[in-house]
Amino acid sequence: MSDDLIFIWGNFVRGNSIAFKQVYDNCFESIYLYGQQFSKDPQTIKDVIQNTFIKVWEKKESLAEVRNPKAYLMQMFRNQMLNLIRFNKNNPLYSTKIDADNYDFKLAVPVELDIIEKERTDEIRKKLKDAFKTLTAKQKEIIYLKYVKGLEFKEISDIMEINTQSAYKLHHRTLLNLKSQLGNIDNMLLLAYLTWYTKEIYSIF
Tell me what pLDDT residue 101 has. 54
Yes or no: say if 11 and 19 are a contact pair by the CB < 8 Å rule.
yes
Residues 6+ positions from 158 with CB-CB distance below 8 Å: 68, 71, 72, 75
Residues 6+ positions from 183 with CB-CB distance below 8 Å: none
Tell me what pLDDT residue 149 has. 82
Tell me what pLDDT residue 90 has. 57
**Selection from 131, 128, 135 nearest residue 105 by Cα:** 135
One digit per residue, the tens of pLDDT, for the chain of length 205 reads: 567 899 999 999 998 989 999 999 999 988 998 888 888 888 889 989 998 998 899 899 899 888 899 999 999 999 888 888 777 765 443 333 444 455 667 666 554 444 444 555 567 677 777 888 889 999 999 988 888 788 889 999 999 999 999 999 999 899 888 888 877 666 666 776 666 543 433 433 3
Tell me what pLDDT residue 163 has. 92
Tell me what pLDDT residue 181 has. 82
Q: Alpha-carbon distance 172 to 143, whole Å?
A: 11
Yes or no: say if 49 and 33 are a contact pair by the CB < 8 Å rule.
no
Secondary structure element (H or E) that encloses residue 120, with its range: none
